[in-house]
């Protein structure tokens, strides 16, 4: 089996290794516009040696932001800044990816270090939230969203397609649609947050309709040679997870037929009442079941081991196809170099780092 530092090819894209920087919101944008913080952040992650760097959740419209500090792709000025970021990632040796989404009822919140709670209606930097049904998330996010009309659904889907077109033209080569974590797509898919009685609510087929339609619309504009992927919630750790898993697998099979290439298996985060069993690799078994039942390649992004031998074993054992890490890269942006050394990869500095670093570290002990 391939190891952590073997190349990985999907469609027309080849990653230099199987290490992925997971999308991590920075909440440092203004009016959705990236800035020097983002440029330096993503360039340094790419130089660290990962095969793929996925840019943080980027909103398709102003109302789709989680906080006022989220990045966006609803205008051309934002796209130009993201073009620079995609180029910097590419120059650093990694494939540039981006996560596109809409926050739904979790939108219009304070940044995490400023409360991580809903801004009250009428406050500066606040806006009206929307969702499939007028049901609040609860606890620190108590605002009741406005129920989306059919016109709203079509508008958000159109916003999504335009954002994807901008991501395509900005040079991103890997697209991840954010269909998880209690944001808009997950709000539609989950009966916890969707109590509609029209064709977008009720049965599993109806609740999946928004996600499948959106993916199919995106498939029409996203280049066939570039991977089209989703992050999808398949368990909630609340209520009937077996039923949720079965519905998620059925949806992924439909998405695969519609052109989906890869899945990041995730958690719902659609209710504050969930009892999540946090721990190292705790989602691996769930991810394996999903990948086996759908025939899709994939990964999961929660608490994967960052101990190099254990991480390599996940790949060699066929548990997941890519190792997706987040916070370990904040601790050490050059984590791949550390892993390559511990795994005794030949010429580890040259295998992971750009020449100005690799040369000086080649003989460093």
Record the tokens describing residue 319, joined without a space: 């548990």
Rounded distance, CA 93 to CA 292, Å? 31
| pLDDT mean over 29-34 | 98
Q: What is the mean pLDDT of residues 50-60?
A: 98
Contact 326, 16 (CB under 8 A): no
Instruction: Label residue 177 by pLDDT band (50, 70, 90).
Output: very high
279 close to 246: Cβ distance less than 8 angstroms: no
pLDDT reported for residue 335: 98
Residues 40-66, mean pLDDT to the nearest whole number: 98
Q: What do you get for the CA distance between the two ends of the chain, in Å?
A: 30
- Residue 283 structure tokens: 């989602």
pLDDT bucket at 192, cuts 50 / 70 / 90 = very high
For residue 169, give the 3-state DSSP assignment. helix
What pLDDT sits at residue 173? Answer: 98
* Alpha carbon separation from 332 to 19, 186, 241, 338 (Å, rounded): 14, 32, 35, 9
Strands 146-147 and 130-131: parallel
pLDDT tens digits for 274-303? 999 999 999 999 999 999 999 999 999 999
The number of helices, as runs of H, and strands, as runs of E, in the chain is 12, 13
pLDDT (mean) for 321-340: 98
* pLDDT(80) > 80: yes
pLDDT of residue 365: 73
Q: How many whole angstroms from its chain centre is CA 205?
A: 24
pLDDT tens digits, 137-164: 999 999 999 999 999 999 999 999 999 9
Beta-carbon count within 10 A of 128 CB = 11
Arithmetic mean of pLDDT, 216-235: 98
d(Cα 131, Cα 187) in Å, to the nearest integer?
7
Q: What is the pLDDT of residue 171?
A: 98
- Residue 1: predicted pLDDT: 84
Instruction: Name the band, by pLDDT with cuts 50, 70 and 90, for residue 168.
Output: very high
Q: Indicate the SS3 state at residue 323.
A: strand
CA-atom Rg of the chain in angstroms: 20
pLDDT of residue 345: 97
- According to DSSP, the β-strands at 19-21 and 146-147 are unpaired
Residue 98, exposed/middle/buried by CB under 10 A (0-12, 13-18, 19+)?
buried
Mean pLDDT of 217-243: 97
pTM: 0.97
Q: What is the pLDDT of residues 32-50, one digit of tens each?
A: 999 999 999 999 999 999 9
Share of the chain above pLDDT 90, in %: 98
Catalytic residues: 183
Contact yes or no for 326/24 (Cβ under 8 A): yes
Residues 211-229 have a mean pLDDT of 98
| Residue owning tokens 């954002």 | 163
Predicted pLDDT of residue 187? 98
pLDDT band at 72 (very low <50, low <70, confident <90, very high): very high
Kindly list the distances between the CA atom of residue 109 and the CA atoms of 26, 68, 75, 103, 211, in Å, as whole numbers in the listed order.
Answer: 14, 7, 22, 10, 24
Mean of pLDDT over the chain? 97
The H or E element that residue 84 is part of is helix 76-91
Strand pairing of 13-15 and 8-10? antiparallel
């Amino acid at each position: 089996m391939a190891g952590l530092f073997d190349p990985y090819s999907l469609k027309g894209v080849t990653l230099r290794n199987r290490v992925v920087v997971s999308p991590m919101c920075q909440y440092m944008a203004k009016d959705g516009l990236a800035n020097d913080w983002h440029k330096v952040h993503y360039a340094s992650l790419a130089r660290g040696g990962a095969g793929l760097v996925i840019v943080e959740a980027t909103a398709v419209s102003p109302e789709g932001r989680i906080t006022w500090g989220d990045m966006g792709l609803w205008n051309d000025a934002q796209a130009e800044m993201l073009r620079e970021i995609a180029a910097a990632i590419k120059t650093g040796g990694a494939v540039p990816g981006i996560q596109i989404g809409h926050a739904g009822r979790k939108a219009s919140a304070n940044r995490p270090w400023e409360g991580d709670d809903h801004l009250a209606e009428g406050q500066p930097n606040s806006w009206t939230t929307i969702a499939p049904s007028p049901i609040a998330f609860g606890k620190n996010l108590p605002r009741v969203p406005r129920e989306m009309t059919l016109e709203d659904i079509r508008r958000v889907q159109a916003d999504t397609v335009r954002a994807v077109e901008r991501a395509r033209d900005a040079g991103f080569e890997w697209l991840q649609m954010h269909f998880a974590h209690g944001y808009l797509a997950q709000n539609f898919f989950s009966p916890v947050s969707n109590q509609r009685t029209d064709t977008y609510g009720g049965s599993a087929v109806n609740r999946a309709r928004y996600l499948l339609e959106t993916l199919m619309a995106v498939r029409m504009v996203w280049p066939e040679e570039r991977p089209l992927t989703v992050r999808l919630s398949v368990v909630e750790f609340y209520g009937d997870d077996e039923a949720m898993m079965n519905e998620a697998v059925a949806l992924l099979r439909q998405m695969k037929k519609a052109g989906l290439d890869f899945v990041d298996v995730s958690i719902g985060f659609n209710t504050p009442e969930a009892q999540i069993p946090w721990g190292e690799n705790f989602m691996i078994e769930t991810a394996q079941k999903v990948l086996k039942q759908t025939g899709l390649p994939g990964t999961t992004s929660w608490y994967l081991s960052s101990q190099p031998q254990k991480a390599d074993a996940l790949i060699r054992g066929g548990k997941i196809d890519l190792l997706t890490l987040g916070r370990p890269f904040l601790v050490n942006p050059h984590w791949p170099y550390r892993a390559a050394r511990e795994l005794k990869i030949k010429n580890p500095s040259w295998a992971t780092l750009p020449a100005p670093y690799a040369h000086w570290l080649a003989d460093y002990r």
